[in-house]
Amino acid sequence: MVGFAVAFATAQDGSSTVARKRTTEKHYAVFISHSSRDRWIARQISQEIETKGRKWGIRTFLDERDIKGGDSIPDTIRTEIRDCDEFLVLLSRYSVDRTWVLLEIGAAWEIEKRIVAILDKVSPHELPDVLVPYKAIDLNGFGEYVKELLQRARRDELT
């Protein structure tokens, strides 16, 4: 996000002038991968993360909200995965074997992103092979994940 810092300068005649300087604010970005059939849950996840993480500049990427008309869907997804700080995948009966979800997981894995699987009525033995080494979180434990996320974002902000 780009903002403006306002600086006041005093001229020799005592009048004030305003100078605007462009600043870049750092965000901690979370990519949310999900099936379109789970969009309501994905929206709730996004809202919870952004509400609780507002103080630390946490933002989420949701395809339906953040891809605009005329945007290249594959290019936008590729860019957002590349630029995110962590990758969250909502795994449900609808998404566990969806091609796009599996492609997004593979892309995040390839570039060594932190991958967090949130499980909605999916057991750990149903995970795609690439996610087996990662600790998955049941949707009922989502609040604990958010606490951990806030800690990571705070540490990132301090560096």
Q: What is the DSSP string of 27-65?
A: -EEEEEE--GGGHHHHHHHHHHHHHHHGGGTEEEE-HHH
**What integer pLDDT is reported at residue 25 of this predicted model?**
59
What pLDDT does 22 receive? Answer: 37
Give the pLDDT band of residue 156 (cuts 50, 70, 90): confident
| Average pLDDT estimate for 38-56 | 96
Q: Identify the pLDDT of residue 155.
A: 84
User: How far apart, in Å, do the first and last CA atoms of the chain sit?
Assistant: 18
Supply the pTM of this predicted model: 0.81
Q: Is the pLDDT of residue 18 over 80?
A: no
Superfamily of domain covering 26-158: Toll/interleukin-1 receptor homology (TIR) domain (3.40.50.10140)
Cα dihedral sign, 82-78-116-84? positive
Residue with the bigger pLDDT between 7 and 95: it is: 95
The alpha carbon of residue 40 and the mean position of all alpha carbons in its chain are separated, in whole angstroms, by 16
What digits encode the pLDDT tens for the residues 21-32?
Answer: 434 456 899 999
